[in-house]
Structures are given as structure tokens and as C-alpha cells.
């Protein structure tokens, strides 16, 4: 039953659900693959730095790459085995790019390194608790992959009125959070309490969708007055951070702002479960639930070790790669179309969706029907953005808040002219980002040039300040030489007088 007192976000869509394909089966623990490929960057921020060498034996849970800076996370071995390579491998990326990864050959023993949880988390200092979460390599697991400790730190610097644990899985095919809650409700509730303690939130909500009744029933008996369970209607994209905040609190996150600006912090439900494992058991983030669905013989959810190849996961559901199929990492609405199944599952991989390629209806001219604006949850003007993206008018794109677009795909979904609007926005965002980066690089180069010029000018000034000293030293030296010459002359004159010599050669 939908909770009372909720608000609405603008736009959105009621999409046909495909969740029944995968959420009826218990999750399967995926067998060990032949190789584990762990990218050094599975999160927003700087890539981690390897601390192992090729040929080393590692244990499950061992740190194999350390965090490189504040917005970074360590990488842990997801099973025991031998390090076979540190090099470039395919990663989840629409362009099929490669990135630095560590390759492990599993030894089949899956032996843990020494791990230990902390005792009573409630008596811990919140900052220490945040460090435990950081050292466990936990990032947001709902798709954005932002390091969890950074959000928690924001929470200790500003008062947190509401902590929201997001269990709203609004993409029509994805059910990994649903299965996680049904199978591990205790982890979610305990992890939620730990996060709440880490940010000292006044109020705590777990938000769930109305089409997840089994998950709701699993959570309810474990809750006390400290956590509210709120059921929201199934409207896409209700799980978006800004949309869910609006629905639960009636508040809007400011444009270009963050939820903490209005005293709110949100974490995904899988992040709460990972926090429980890290704090209670000392387990780093090395596995996750993944939905494998669409045109596969046995769609279901898998418990997957990070670094497991996507192909190995699909094979567990009876799927063998077929040319012409579309492989999407993520959901049907917001997922990324990838070229093959070579890449590994990473911290943010929540769904592997296989779709048969259908002939796309041809793109037609915009008829200015306005349907795209009606469904936009970010209150944008998608049609205008489309024109500006086509004409590469970066100023107008910025003025029309292109970067507020959450790429939910609602506009493309309803467009009668079959215009792939989101594609245009993604390309435009990339171009603007590249342009800004080149401006930033040019600015930094100019700054370096000016700094050098200033340094050289300073050095030249110092030299000229020293010059009077040098002159004085020169004069002093000349005086000394003249004195010595005079003394020698006097000595010779004395000697001539004493010995009666004549015609001696003068020094001058
Ligand atoms: S929905 Fe499509 S055709 Fe209609 S205004 Fe938007 S872009 Fe144009
Ligand atoms: S993709 Fe962007 S522009 Fe289109 S509806 Fe979603 S938020 Fe609005």
C-alpha cells in the first residue's frame, strides 16, 4: 500500500514492467570464473594504485590497489589466486575503451585474508566508522559509483535532517535490489543503522516501491521506530535522487546543488548491505547482486564476485553470445549499450540486459508536439535542447540546463518522431566537457607560463640586488693588489739601497 503524505515530481512515465522475468527465482551464487579482471577505477574519482606485482599470490579480501587521494577507493582481490597481469583490459564503456586493470588467476580455494569486524559500532566515533567504510572500498551501488565515505563526510560537516536508503528500483527490467532485500533484509536494516550513526541523521527512511511487496514484508518485522519504511508509487524515474527526495520530503535539491545542501543524504540499499558486511564482518566490497535478464534462457539474479566477466554471468543463465544481440549494462532506459561481453562486473554493474536487435524506426523531423517536455522529470525543454545540441550551441545548452538532464530517456521514449534525444544530449555533454577541459588545460598552461616568468623576474631582481656587493668586492680586491704592489716596490728599493744595485727593472 502506498504511504500517505507523499509529494509528486514533475513528468515521469508508467512503464510496462518486465521484473517478473527475474525476480521470482532465488539468487544464484556464481561459480568462480577462469579469470578475474579488476579495474583500478570502479568509482567516480581517481583510479587506485596497484600495491602488488605480477606473480604475487593474493588472498580474497586483500588490498591489491590502494586509494589515490580523497575521492578514490582501494581495490580488493575478490578471490584468492595469482596476479597474472597489470595492464589494459576492456571495461564497461560504451566506446569499448580499455583501462588499467589487475588480472587474477583464481586458485580455486577462495581463501580469505585475515578480516575482522568492529564490535559495537554504536559506541564508535562517526569518523572512525566512515574510515571503516572507506577502507572497505564501498561506493554507491545504484549506478553512480560515488565513493560512499565522501557523502558520509559531507554528513558530518553539515547537519543531516534525513537519511534516505533508496530501494526504489524503477527501471523496468532490474530486480537485484528486490532480491537482495528479500534474501538479506537483516543486512539492509543493520547497514542502515550504521550509516545513520556515521552521519548522525535525525530521521531515517527506507523508501521502497509499491511493486516490491515481498521485499517490504521481509523488512517490516526488523524495523523499530528508528527507521520509517515508506512505499512510493511505481513511476519511472522515481528512483532518481532528486525525484525521490521531492516525493518523500516535498523539497527540491537546488540546481547545481547536492542533497546535503538541504540536509539530506541518500544511499542505495545495496550500499547499506555492503556497509553491514564491512563493519560487522570486516569484509570489503568484493561482490554484488546482478540481474541477468531479457533474451536469455533463464533470467535471474546472481551473486557475483567483482571482476567476473560479463560473459561468464550470462552463461550461468544459459545464454551464449549471438551476433546481432544488443548487450546493455544497466536498465533498458538508462543503461549503456556495450560492444561485447569481454568486460568484467564492477561495483556499479547492477544489470546485464540482452535484447534482440530490432530495426529501429527511422528518425523523423521534430513536429513540436511537446510530449517530451510533458514527461521530463527535470523540468527541462528537451525539444529546445535537441535543437541546440544539433547546432552545437553550447551557450544556449548551458542556459537551458543541459547538465540537469539525468538521461532518464523519458523524452526519447515518448517522441513520435523516434528522435534519440538522449543520444544527442550525451554527445553534447561530452563535447562541452571536452571543451571545458581544453579551456582548463590552456588556463593551467598559461598559469604555469606566468609563474615561470614571475620566478625568472624575481631571480633577475635578486641578482641585480647582489651586484653592489660584487662591485665592492672587486674594488676591495683591486685595493689589496695595489697595496701589495706598493709593498713589493718598497722592499726592492730597500734592497737596492742595501746592496748598491743599479738599473733594476721597475714593476710598472
Ligand atoms: S516529442 Fe519529439 S517530436 Fe515532439 S516536440 Fe519533442 S522532440 Fe519534437
Ligand atoms: S533524458 Fe533529460 S531531457 Fe529527457 S526527459 Fe530525461 S531528464 Fe528530461
Domain edges within the chain:
19-23+33-288, 370-508
Residues forming a β-bridge with 231: 208
Residues of the chain with pLDDT under 70: 155, 358-359, 467-477, 497-508
Q: Whose CA is nearest to atom 1 of ligand 2?
A: 407
How far is the centre of ligand 1, averaged over its atoms, from the C-alpha of 336 (Å)? 23
Radius of gyration of the chain (CA): 33
Q: Which residues, 6+ apart, have CB-to-CB distance to 208 below 8 Å?
A: 167, 168, 181, 215, 216, 219, 229, 230, 231, 232
- Report CA(47)–ligand 1 centroid distance (Å): 40
Residue 126 burial (CB count, 10 A): 17
Residue 340's alpha-carbon distances to 89, 91, 96, 309, 479, in angstroms, are 13, 10, 8, 11, 86
Give the closest residue (by CA) to ligand 1 atom 4: 369
Report helix, strand or coil for 142: coil
Ligand 2 centre from 361 Cα, in Å?
20
Return the best residue to mutate from 11, 365, 368 for the ligand 1 pocket (most ligand atoms within 8 A of CB): 368
Tell me, using a 6 A CB cutoff, whether residue 383 lines ligand 1: yes
Please work out whether the CB of residue 419 comes within 6 Å of at least one atom of ligand 1: yes
Using CA atoms, how far apart are residues 494 and 234, in angstroms rounded to an integer? 119
Of the listed ligands, the closest to the CA of 410 is: 2
Kindly give the number of the ligand 2 atom that is closest to the alpha carbon of 237. 6
Q: Do 68 and 46 form a contact (C-beta atoms < 8 A)?
A: yes
Closest residue by CA, ligand 1 atom 5: 368
Which ligand is in closest contact with the Cα of 404? 2
Q: Which helix (H) or strand (E) holds 304?
A: strand 300-305
Position in ligand 1 atom list of the atom nearest CA 414: 1
CA of 294 from ligand 1 middle (Å) equals 28
Ligand 2 geometric centre to CA of 234 (Å): 18
What does each C-alpha distance from 31 to 79, 196, 301, 302, 332 come to in angstroms?
11, 34, 13, 10, 27
The verdict on the CB of residue 372 being under 6 Å from ligand 1 is: yes
For the CA of 418, the nearest ligand: 1
Tell me, what's the pLDDT at 507? 39
Taking the domain 19-23+33-288, which CATH number applies?
3.40.50.11540
- Ligand closest in space to the Cα of 385: 2
pTM for the predicted model, two decimal places: 0.84
Q: For ligand 1, is residue 386 a contact (CB within 6 Å)?
A: yes
Q: In angstroms, what is the span from residue 434 Cα to ligand 2's centroid? A: 21
CA-nearest residue for atom 8, ligand 2, is 376
Q: Is 246 exposed, middle or buried (0-12, 13-18, 19+ CB in 10 A)?
A: buried
Residues in the chain: 508
**To test the ligand 1 pocket, which listed residue (400, 412, 416) has its Cβ within 8 A of the most ligand atoms?**
416
Regarding the beta carbon of 369 and ligand 1, being less than 6 Å apart is answered yes
* Pocket around ligand 2 at a 6 A CB cut-off: 375-378, 380, 382, 405-411, 421-422
For the CA of 411, the nearest atom of ligand 1 = 1
Q: Cα(420) to centroid of ligand 2, in Å?
A: 11
Ramachandran class of 190: left when φ > 0, alpha when ψ lies in -120 to 50, beta otherwise: alpha
Q: For ligand 2, pick from 237, 401, 422 the residue to mutate: most ligand atoms within 8 Å of CB.
A: 422
pLDDT of residue 467: 62
Amino acid at each position: 500500500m502506498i504511504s500517505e503524505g507523499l509529494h509528486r515530481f514533475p513528468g515521469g512515465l508508467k512503464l510496462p514492467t518486465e521484473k517478473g522475468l527475474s525476480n521470482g527465482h532465488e539468487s544464484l551464487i556464481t561459480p568462480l570464473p577462469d579469470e578475474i579482471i579488476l579495474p583500478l577505477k570502479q568509482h567516480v574519482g581517481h583510479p587506485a594504485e596497484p600495491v602488488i606485482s605480477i606473480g604475487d599470490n593474493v588472498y580474497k579480501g586483500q588490498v591489491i590497489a590502494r586509494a589515490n587521494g580523497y575521492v578514490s577507493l582501494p581495490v580488493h582481490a575478490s578471490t584468492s589466486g595469482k596476479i597474472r597481469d597489470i595492464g589494459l583490459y576492456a571495461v564497461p564503456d560504451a566506446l569499448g575503451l580499455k583501462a588499467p586493470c589487475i588480472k587474477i588467476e583464481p586458485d580455486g580455494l577462495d581463501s580469505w585474508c585475515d578480516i575482522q569486524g568492529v564490535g559495537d559500532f554504536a559506541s564508535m566515533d562517526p569518523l572512525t566508522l566512515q574510515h571503516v567504510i572507506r577502507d572497505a572500498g564501498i561506493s554507491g551501488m545504484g549506478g553512480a559509483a560515488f565513493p560512499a565515505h565522501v557523502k558520509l563526510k559531507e554528513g558530518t560537516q553539515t547537519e543531516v535532517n534525513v537519511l534516505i536508503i533508496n530501494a526504489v528500483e524503477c527501471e523496468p527490467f532490474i530486480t537485484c535490489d528486490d532480491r537482495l532485500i528479500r534474501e538479506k533484509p537483516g543486512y539492509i536494516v543493520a547497514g542502515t543503522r550504521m550509516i545513520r550513526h556515521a552521519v548522525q541523521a535525525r530521521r531515517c527512511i527506507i523508501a521502497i516501491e509499491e511493486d516490491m511487496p515481498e521485499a517490504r514484508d521481509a523488512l517490516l518485522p526488523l524495523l523499530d521506530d528508528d527507521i520509517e519504511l515508506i512505499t512510493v508509487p511505481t513511476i519511472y524515474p522515481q528512483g532518481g535522487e532528486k525525484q525521490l527526495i521531492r516525493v518523500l520530503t516535498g523539497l527540491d535539491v537546488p540546481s547545481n546543488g547536492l542533497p546535503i545542501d538541504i540536509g539530506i543524504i541518500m544511499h542505495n540499499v545495496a550500499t547499506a548491505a555492503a556497509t553491514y558486511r564491512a563493519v560487522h564482518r570486516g569484509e570489503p566490497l568484493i561482490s554484488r547482486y546482478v540481474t541477468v535478464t531479457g533474451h536469455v534462457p533463464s533470467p535471474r539474479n546472481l551473486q557475483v564476485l567483482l571482476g567476473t566477466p560479463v560473459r561468464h554471468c550470462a552463461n550461468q543463465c544459459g545464454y551464449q553470445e549471438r551476433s546481432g544481440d544488443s548487450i546493455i549494462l544497466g536498465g533498458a532506459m538508462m543503461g549503456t549499450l556495450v560492444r561485447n561481453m569481454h568486460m568484467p562486473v564492477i561495483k556499479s554493474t547492477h544489470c546485464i540486459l540482452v535484447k534482440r536487435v530490432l530495426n529501429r524506426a527511422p528518425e523523423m523531423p521534430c513536429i513540436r508536439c511537446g510530449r517530451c517536455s510533458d514527461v521530463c522529470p527535470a523540468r527541462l525543454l528537451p525539444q529546445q535542447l535537441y535543437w541546440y545540441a544539433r547546432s552545437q550551441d553550447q551557450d544556449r545548452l548551458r542556459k537551458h540546463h543541459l547538465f540537469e538532464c539525468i538521461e532518464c530517456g523519458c523524452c526519447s521514449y515518448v517522441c513520435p518522431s523516434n528522435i534519440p534525444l538522449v543520444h544527442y544530449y550525451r554527445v553534447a555533454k561530452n563535447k562541452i566537457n571536452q571543451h571545458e577541459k581544453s579551456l582548463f588545460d590552456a588556463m593551467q598552461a598559461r598559469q604555469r607560463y606566468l609563474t615561470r616568468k614571475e620566478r625568472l623576474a624575481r631571480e633577475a631582481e635578486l641578482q641585480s640586488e647582489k651586484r653592489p656587493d660584487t662591485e665592492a668586492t672587486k674594488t676591495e680586491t683591486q685595493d689589496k693588489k695595489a697595496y701589495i704592489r706598493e709593498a713589493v716596490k718598497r722592499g726592492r728599493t730597500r734592497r737596492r739601497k742595501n746592496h748598491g744595485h743599479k738599473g733594476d727593472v721597475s714593476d710598472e
